[in-house]
Structures are given as structure tokens and as C-alpha cells.
Amino acid sequence: MFDAIVVGSGMSGGISAKELCERGLKVLVIERGRKLVHGESYTDMVQPWDEPNAGMVPEEDLARHYMIQKNSFISGTTKQYWVKDDENPYSYPEGKPFYWIRGYHLGGRSIMWGRQSYRLSPQDFEANAKDGHGSDWPIRYDDLAPWYSHVEKFIGVSGSQEGLPQLPDGEFLPPFGLNDAELQFKAAVEKAFPGRKVIPGRTANLSKAQPHHEELGRSSCQARSFCDRGCTYGAYHSSLSSSLPAADRTGNLTIVTDAIVHSLVHDPKSGRVTGVRVIDANTKAGKTYEAKVVFLNASTIGTAQILLNSKSDAMPRGLANSSDMVGRNLMDHLFALSVAGFMPNAPKDSYYHGRRPNGIYIPRFRNVTEPGDFLRGYGYQGGLTRLGWRTAALTSPGIGAELKERTHKLGPWLSFVSGFGEMLPNPENRVTLSKTKVDKWGIPLVEVNCSHGPNELKMAKQIIEDGKAMIQAAGGFVVNAATEPGVPGLGIHEMGTACMGKDPKNSVLNKYNKAHDVPNLFITDGAAMASSGCQNPSLTYMALSARAAHHATEFLKAGVI
């Protein structure tokens, strides 16, 4: 028997495992996907001219295997990290798509994540209580602040201290500086719209590796921007570069891969979970692992699937689901609300060196410093960049020496801002299990029913309008703008299917991320989120994981779980 089982090895599972191992617990991490080896499994050293198919995924593969994933960031050098949709089916109602973007392998989506790392603010933790949507968070910002610091120091987050209440500062490495056009944009926007700020993105890339990073074999960012291929330098935080090696060096970690969790074993007498049933992904053989504590970090939808599939006579609606909230309140950030514009006044005599793995960030201002005719708000990610060879060569006619001549010149400055908007928790946006269909391992298929509501659509319109206005205020002219948010799921920020809350009647987890109904079950992935804020959420998952691991260990020591 293990002290703890962590289901899932991604962003939150890696931190859960590290924190539990470092507190002396013998931990088993169960990963449904295959093993990847840090460095060895990556494609970051492949030169452009050696990229198969010039970095493109064969079109028939996209059509046959990646019908959903092709809508996201898959490429020829990263396709090994994205699931094959035909082998991992799920469904959504006709005309109501939800794109479930996934990676099944050791490290999960921490290998391919966008690395943007922002704290939620006091305002975010109070939002549900204030406007009545979703369950009131059972914690406030101050409860999580030390754990944000703890995680930031460990993973390494570059950023600038700004003193903004809606985006609390953290323990930052030096920021990746803004280029000259971005500095000009910043000055113009902040002058035209007092209260709005344009700051360097906060990203989990080591702008300057610290000794505790180097002890794990990590080194400073080389500004290659091949992060999504995996980084042999370990310059961005992932489970493979960072949290799992830290867990492993304690001597307390065991990992099994290719083990798909079917369900959790619940003992109705004690009311506790006693183990985890898995199916070998290759042989389909079943096995049960036992532990004193279980952490579910299988990702928001995966975690809901496991809970719902763990129903028993004692818990007929699914494990930890007396509230009927498991699977409900599915959220994702409004995504792909982008505006692009040319910046004729940007400095033509200025360029930059390196491929920065980051951009600018414009923290939320609606319903903070400026009113909005909707609830909650949004922030923007973006950047200003000189247009490159691809645009020069291909966006207008021309061939021959003239094409070559124009292509090797620096292009004009382009600005782009892309809004990330908060989606309200809505119990009708939910994950359920099919009553008739199972996957090849006999597990009921996930059905996702999720759409944007009136508040989201009103917000999306304002995101576009504000984006245009900022580009224009900085002297640019808009050349392209989205008209509607991308399909839910494309933000790859699924959250909410086992929400934290004060009241067991309308939430699944308490203030320690412990299930109200099951004293030794903790859930610290995106499922735990009672609201989404508009900030990229992984840092919050990791902080919740570290905090819950601390409390779980204390409860174990005290013999109360």
C-alpha cells in the first residue's frame, strides 16, 4: 500500500506528487499515457531543414486522427504529444461543439502548455459570493498567497512587479523585456486609457535560472521558442523537467504509465477511498492500487469522468457527488478573440534578438478601473513583432529575385492582442457519461454539453472593441479581428467540474480541496476551480496542489483521515 496515489502526472499531478514526496509520503503516480523521457523524447533540437514535411502534419493524419486536436496548436514537431481523437472519442451535441484538447503521456499537458502564470486576485476569489454565480470559494486570496509564492519560486516565473490589485505580484525572476514597439504601445495605451496597463507576460520560463533550478538540471532560457516541443534545457517548468525529478530525488516516488484509471474503490463502511482501479492501456489487464490518500489530478474532464464512473450503491450518482455538482460548471476561458493591426509609427530602426517565449499582458480593467455591461472581465495576451519571411513572401503576388529581396528585409511592425475572458460557472455546462457507449477499455464515453451564455457573448463583443481601440490609440490600423469566441475548449483551460465550496450541498470540495463526501480524497486540478478568473489557471492549480498536499499530510499525521 502507498501512502498516497496521485492520478495524473501533468501540471497539478506533478506538483501534488512533489509536495507529498517531499513530506515523506510514499507516492504512486498513475499516468494513463506512455512514458516520455526528459530530453530524450523531445524534438527541440530538430533543425528546420530536418523537420519532416517542413513541420506540417500530413493532411490525412489530421483528418483521420486529429479531427479535434487540429483546431489547436498541433504541428509536425509536436504531434506526438496530442491525442489521436479517433482512439480517444468523446461526444457533444450536434451544433454545440466543445473541443477537448489533450495530451496523454507522462507529464501531460505540462509539456505543451503556454506557460503564462498569473495569480488570481482577491476580487476573483470573492466574485461568486458577490454576484451569486457558482459556489462561494471556501478560501480567499490570502489563504493561497503563500502557496503561490512557494510554487513560483520552485517553477521559476519571470515577470515584473506592478502593484496591481487585480493581478497580484509574485516571486518573480527578471521579466523578458518589452521590445521598443511594445514600449511605445505601452506608453500610448496607458496614456489614452488611464488604469490600463501593458506589462511583460508572466511566464514559467527561466529568464535566469537559480541554484535550486540548476540542482534539477534546469538552465536559463535560450530564447528559442521551441517550448511546445519540450525543452532539453529544462528552461520552462514541466512535470518532466521540474516537479517529477524533484519528487523522484526524495526516493519516495513510484510512477506507472500506460495505466488508465477506471474508477476509485470506495469502502462504504469507512466512507473512504481505498484504492484505484486501472486498466493497462496495452494489455487491458485490470489492477487495483491501494493507498491511504488519493489525489485526483486527471484534468478537469478526466477527473469528472473518473468520479462519475466510480458510482456505487453508497454513491449512486458517482463518487463524492451528493451535491450533484460533479461534472457541472464546466468553464473555459473565452479564447481566440484576437485583433491584429499594423503599426506604421513603430520604430523602423529597431529590432530584437532571440525568440522570446512570451509577450505582453494587459491585465483586466473592465469592472476594475472601467465599467462593463457584463459580469467579470478579461485580460489580453499579445505582442508586437516585425512581420517575418512568411508574410513577406506569401501575402502578395511576386516571384523571382524580387520575392527574395523583399523576404529577407525586416517587415513592418504588427501588433496583436488576444482576449481571455472569464466564463461564468453554469451548472448546465456539464460533463456526463454515455449510458450506451464505452471506449476500447470499457470506460463510458464522456459527453460534453457546454456553450457560451449571454454574459460571455456580451463580453466577447467588448473584448474585440477594446482590442481595436487600443491598437488604434497606439497609432495602428486594424487589419484583422475575430468576430466571435472560439469553440469552448479551445482555450485549453477547462475548469470547474468538481468545484470547491463552503456548502456541501452545492460544491464537491472543501477549503482543503478535500471531497466533502470522502475524507481521504483530494482533487487539485482544474476541476476544483469554483470560478475561472480571466487569468491563465495553471499556477492556481499548482498552488492549490501544494497547499492541499500540505494539509493532507498534516491530516494523515494527525490520524484524522
Partner 1 sequence: MTDFMPLDRRSMLERALLLVGASAAASVSPAAFAKAAGSKPTLAPAAFTLLSAVADTIVPRTHTPGAIDARVPAKLDALLVTWASPEHRVSITGALTAIDEMARSNGGKGFAALTPEQRKELLVAHDIAALKAVPRKEALTGIEALMGKAAVADPGYAKLKELIVILYYYSQEALTTELNYEHSPGGWTPSIKVTPETRADGGLSAF
Q: Which of residues 39, 89, 122, 398 is near partner 1 by CB under 8 A?
A: 398
Q: How many CB atoms lie within 10 A of CB 434?
A: 15
Size of the site for partner 1 (CB under 8 A): 78
* Of residues 443 and 448, the one with the C-beta less far from partner 1: 448
- Cell matching residue 74: 498541433
Report the residue from 285, 401, 558, 560 that binds partner 1 according to the rule CB under 8 A. Answer: 401
27-30/253-256 β-pairing: parallel
Q: Look-up: residue for cell 482543503?
A: 512
191-210 residues near partner 1, rule: CB under 8 A = 207
Query: Hey, what's the cell of 141?
Result: 486570496
Cα 138 from chain centroid (whole Å): 22
How far CA 77 is from CA of 36, 103, 255, in Å, comes to 15, 14, 26
From residue 68 to residue 87, the character string flagging contacts with partner 1 as x (rule: CB under 8 A) and all else as - is ---xx---------------
CB of 77 to partner 1, least distance (A): 10
Spell out the residues 6+ positions from residue 470 whose beta carbon is closer than 8 angstroms to its own. Answer: 185, 189, 192, 193, 196, 362, 417
Minimal distance in Å, beta carbon 174 to partner 1? 10
CB of 408 to partner 1, least distance (A): 5
- Candidates 163, 285, 349, 371; binder of partner 1 (CB under 8 A) is 349
| Contacting residue, 403, 445, 457, 478, with partner 1 by CB under 8 A | 403
From candidates 222, 257, 274, 451, binder to partner 1 by CB under 8 A: 222
Amino acid making up residue 207: S
Binding of residue 95 to partner 1 (CB under 8 A)? no
Least separation in angstroms between CB 226 and partner 1: 7
- Which DSSP state fits 423? P
Q: Hey, which residues does 339 pair with through a beta bridge?
A: 417, 481
Q: Report the greatest alpha carbon distance in the chain.
A: 80
Radius of gyration over every alpha carbon of the chain, rounded to an integer in angstroms: 23
Give the integer Cα–Cα distance in Å for 446 and 299.
13
Contact present, 503 and 281 (Cβ < 8 Å) = no
Minimum distance from residue 332 beta carbon to partner 1 (Å) = 12
* Interaction between residue 440 and partner 1 (CB under 8 A): no
Per CB under 8 A, contacts with partner 1 among 120-179 are 176-179
Q: 205: which strand partners?
A: 236
Is 482 a residue that touches partner 1 (CB under 8 A)?
A: yes
Report, in Å, the least distance between residue 58 CB and partner 1: 5
Query: CB 485 → partner 1: shortest distance, Å?
Result: 8
- Part of the chain binding partner 1 (CB under 8 A), chosen from 30-38, 128-136, 399-407, 429-437: 399-407
Contact 508, 143 (CB under 8 A): no
Instruction: Return the residue matching grid coordinates 511605445.
Output: 184
Residues 351-390 touching partner 1, rule: CB under 8 A, are 351-356, 385-390
Q: Which is nearer to partner 1, 47 or 283 (CB)?
A: 47
224 interacts with partner 1 by CB under 8 A = yes
In the chain, the amino acid numbered 196 is R
Residue number with CB closer to partner 1 (47 or 282): 47
Structure letter (DSSP) for residue 274: E
Residue whose grid cell is 499579445? 382
Residue whose entry in the numeric block shows the C-alpha cell 464505452: 438
- Taking the C-alpha atoms of residue 399 and residue 184, their distance in angstroms, rounded to an integer, is 35
List 49, 94, 163, 436, residue binding partner 1 (CB under 8 A): 49
Q: Closest approach of Cβ 229 to partner 1, in Å?
A: 10
Show contacts with partner 1 in window 283-322 (CB under 8 A).
Answer: none
Cβ closest to partner 1, residue 195 vs residue 354: 354
> Binder to partner 1 among 117, 238, 418, 455 (CB under 8 A)?
418
